[in-house]
Amino acid sequence: MRWIQPTFISALFLLPATGLRADKKNPTFADDVLPVIKQHCINCHSDDKQKGGLNLASFPATMQGGSSGVVVAAGDPDKSRIYTLSAHKEEPVMPPSKQKIPADQLEVLRIWVEQGARETAMSKAAMPVKPKVDIGLKSVGKGKPEGLPPMPTAGKFKVDPFVVARRPGAVLGLAASPWAPLVAVGGQKQVLLFHADHGDLLGVLPFEHGQIQSIRFSRNAKFLLVAGGRGGASGKAVLFNVETGEKVTEVGSAETDAILSADISADQSLIAVGTTTRLVRIYSVADGSVQQTIKKHTDWVTAVEFSPDGVLLASGDRNGGVFVWEAATAREFHTIRGHTQMITDVSWRADSNLLATGSLDGTIRLWEMENGGQVKNWNAHGGGVEAVRFSMDGRLASTGRDKLTKLWDGNGALQKQFETFAEVGLRVGVSHDNTKVIGGDWSGALRVWSTADGRKLATMTTNPGPRAEQVKEAEAALIAVTAKIKAIGDAYIAAQAKAKQSGDAFAAAQANIAKLNGDLALNQKTFTEKTAAATALTPQVPPAKAEADKQTAALAAVNNKAFALETSLPIYAETAKKLQEAAAKAPQNPDLAAAAKPAADAVVKLQADLVVVKKAQAETAAAHKLAVDKSAKLTVDLAAAQAAAVEAKKIVDALPPAIKAATDGLPAVKKAADDAAAASNVVKAQADMAAAELKDAQAKFERLKKTP
């Protein structure tokens, strides 16, 4: 046997505990109801004894009712006192002073009334007499309707659940309001209305007709259509007023099996349903009558949806078939071929020009309506797509058997992939402002994610407890998140300190590299200057040394000359003196006198020469000293400049390895700083999220305390 989609298991194989045979889908008064009456009611309501003027012994008498009016409203168990009093839904309960009759027998009464209260198998179902519902719109508007978006009115809704089960049920029905922060989710025999922004339970609507399979908001968001039923027995689609919670109408009189999908037209005049009978039926909202029956599908009709402008109706089946119909006439508009397995969902873009289809073949496909051609397809979920929804801004959200929920742009490019579910994802929706995606899975998990960053914003349950229990849970959550935020706060302080320390270390490492580079530049400049100085001095030393040598030679020469004069002068003076003395002693000798005069003149000349030589000696000695000093200084300066250049070169040569080592080590220091900063940011994000969580928990606790 082929594996069957979980969404429809309950609708097909889980028959209610009615006490009916599996093949007894249509109970009758004669075969099924009268035995119940005889067991529990006949003692007080018979031909012989008629309390309250009520006789239940025969079909005509039962349908006539008693002194308080009719007790059977065909098609509406909630308005049939034969059922509501027996089920202890109204006073006085029946049988009086006794336990409620068994649940399987109550179910016989309920189904009998719901299916038209037939007398025998050959009888026709009685048509329910009910006023026409006048909610049809004369025209279909585009964009947001005027006025405040419809939201549940406080005090109008029950906030305690009708049913608290042992565990949550699979999310088989989910819808987001197109204009308000409101999410409707199918629970067990009830619809749960949550606030999309903070996940609070705003109200609960009853659905006593069996398993909920489909939920849709009207296009103006004023009404909520809930459809489902009992597998192999009956199907109903019930329309509720979103603001008051009142039931507006219900359709499904012709359904003998659970409704798998339903939608209301944009003008609110039609409700289309798809079931396992392979039919699409279109009911009138005004009186519940069947307007059209479409027999084109070859397998279960698993998805139906009217286009936003109300012109077209799309439907898909378990065989992979997709059709588009004219909504008003049910004439075929397009036959769409491409999927190879069951169609699980169809969704129209807001402009009604594009249809999205999801299938167990794993793909999402987009179809244009001018020719019915495929414009895009992509593999969206391994194992199969379970749901796909267009957002108001033209993006698509989907969920599937890979347990993932995803957000796509209008061309099928993945934008976000959200937290994995524990079980198969079944239903998905997008909030009215396109900021949130809501998803539900087979285990009953229900989550809200941000479309901006993908983080989880709220977690709801399809099995909430009583309001008092919700308050206790909210208080416990508040205490837990308070403790959590303290721990995260301490971790954040430590992370900040570590980030600062690592950042300071990185800054110090950068400063050290900058200093080393500065030192290198400075010493390179010094080396250049010292080298230039040495280079400039080098050619000056040889000339200075030569000049010093020249002056040394000149000084030696003048010193020799002075020495010669100083040595000769005494000799010449002594000779002249002796000649003068001899001439004085022998005046009669003219030769002596003649010899004495040149000798005296020679002495005078030598004395004059000595004076000149002495002066030259002093000048030469001074010039010699200058030349020697200059040569010595240049030699010393050159040596100093060369030594300074050598030292500067040593420093310049030593700095690059130090700079390289510091530079090589910088990435590790930077990584440590970046890691510490990132860790600090992560903890800060956790702290921010915890702070937001604390704020939400406080607000939720206060709201729940104030809600009656």
The 10s digit of each residue's pLDDT in 97-110 is 788 899 999 999 99
Residue % of the chain over a pLDDT of 90: 49
Position 159 in a domain: no
Q: Report the alpha-carbon distance of residue 165 to residue 266 in Å, rounded.
A: 35
- 387 and 495, same domain (yes or no): no
Q: Which tokens is 153 given?
A: 């009115």
Length of the chain, in residues: 708
Q: How confident is the model at residue 259 (pLDDT cuts 50, 70, 90)?
A: very high
Q: Report the alpha-carbon distance of residue 141 to residue 132 in Å, rounded.
A: 24
Q: Which of 163, 234, 229 is nearest to 192 (CA)?
A: 163
Position 164 in a domain: no
At 707 the pLDDT is 66
Last residue of a domain, one of 75, 99, 114: 114
**What is the number of domains present in the chain?**
3
β-pair partners for 447? 439, 459
- 263 and 386, same domain (yes or no): yes
- 415 and 318, same domain (yes or no): yes
Q: How confident is the model at residue 476 (pLDDT cuts 50, 70, 90)?
A: confident
Position 692 in a domain: yes
At 658 the pLDDT is 87
The 10s digit of each residue's pLDDT in 604-633 is 888 888 898 889 889 888 988 998 898 888
Position 517 in a domain: yes
At 504 the pLDDT is 93
Position 63 in a domain: yes
- 388 and 528, same domain (yes or no): no
Residue environment code for 443-464, b if the CB has 16+ CB neighbours within 10 A, otherwise e: bbbbbbbebeeeeebbebbbbb
More confident residue, 420 or 642: 420
Contact between 394 and 349 (Cβ < 8 Å):
yes
The 10s digit of each residue's pLDDT in 155-172 is 888 888 888 888 899 999
Last residue of a domain, one of 64, 83, 114: 114
**Stretch 405-424: mean pLDDT, rounded?**
97
More confident residue, 224 or 683: 224
**Stretch 380-395: mean pLDDT, rounded?**
97
Q: How confident is the model at residue 652 (pLDDT cuts 50, 70, 90)?
A: confident
At 24 the pLDDT is 55
Position 91 in a domain: yes
More confident residue, 694 or 270: 270
At 11 the pLDDT is 33
- 525 and 615, same domain (yes or no): yes
- 444 and 363, same domain (yes or no): yes
- 505 and 359, same domain (yes or no): no
Q: Report the alpha-carbon distance of residue 203 to residue 615 in Å, rounded.
A: 131
**Any idea of the CA torsion for 266, 269, 273, 277, to the nearest 10 degrees?**
-140
Q: How many CB atoms lie within 10 A of CB 64?
A: 14
Q: Report the alpha-carbon distance of residue 392 to residue 400 in Å, rounded.
A: 21
- 498 and 607, same domain (yes or no): yes
At 69 the pLDDT is 80
pLDDT at residue 404 greater than cutoff 90: yes
Give the per-residue SS3 of 146-193.
CCCCCCCCCCCCECCCCCCCCCCCCCCCEEECCCCCEEEEECCCEEEE
Note if the bond before 95 is cis, omega within 30 degrees: yes
The 10s digit of each residue's pLDDT in 186-229 is 998 999 999 999 888 999 999 989 999 999 999 999 999 999 99
Q: Which of 603, 604, 624 is nearest to 559 (CA)?
A: 624
- 496 and 445, same domain (yes or no): no
**Stretch 306-325: mean pLDDT, rounded?**
97
pLDDT at residue 22 greater than cutoff 60: no
Output the average pLDDT for the chain: 88
The CATH number assigned to the domain holding 495 equals: 1.10.287
At 23 the pLDDT is 38
**Stretch 415-431: mean pLDDT, rounded?**
97
Position 290 in a domain: yes
- 534 and 408, same domain (yes or no): no
At 577 the pLDDT is 87
Q: How confident is the model at residue 12 (pLDDT cuts 50, 70, 90)?
A: very low
Q: How many CB atoms lie within 10 A of CB 529?
A: 14
At 613 the pLDDT is 84
**Stretch 554-558: mean pLDDT, rounded?**
87
Domain range enclosing 62: 6-114
The CATH number assigned to the domain holding 425 equals: 2.130.10.10
At 127 the pLDDT is 67
Last residue of a domain, one of 97, 114, 131: 114
Q: Which tokens is 194 given?
A: 């949550």
Q: Report the alpha-carbon distance of residue 390 to residue 430 in Å, rounded.
A: 8
Does an H or E element contain 574, and which? helix 541-585
Whole-structure pTM value: 0.63
pLDDT at residue 13 greater than cutoff 50: no
pLDDT at residue 572 greater than cutoff 90: no
- 20 and 55, same domain (yes or no): yes
The 10s digit of each residue's pLDDT in 327-355 is 999 999 999 999 999 999 999 999 999 99
pLDDT at residue 21 greater than cutoff 50: no
- 443 and 559, same domain (yes or no): no
**Pick from 45-49, 140-144, 334-338, 409-413: least confident:** 140-144
Position 126 in a domain: no
**Stretch 230-257: mean pLDDT, rounded?**
92
Which phi and psi angles does 665 have, rounded to 5°?
-80, -15
Q: Report the alpha-carbon distance of residue 331 to residue 333 in Å, rounded.
A: 6
pLDDT at residue 452 greater than cutoff 70: yes
More confident residue, 81 or 348: 348
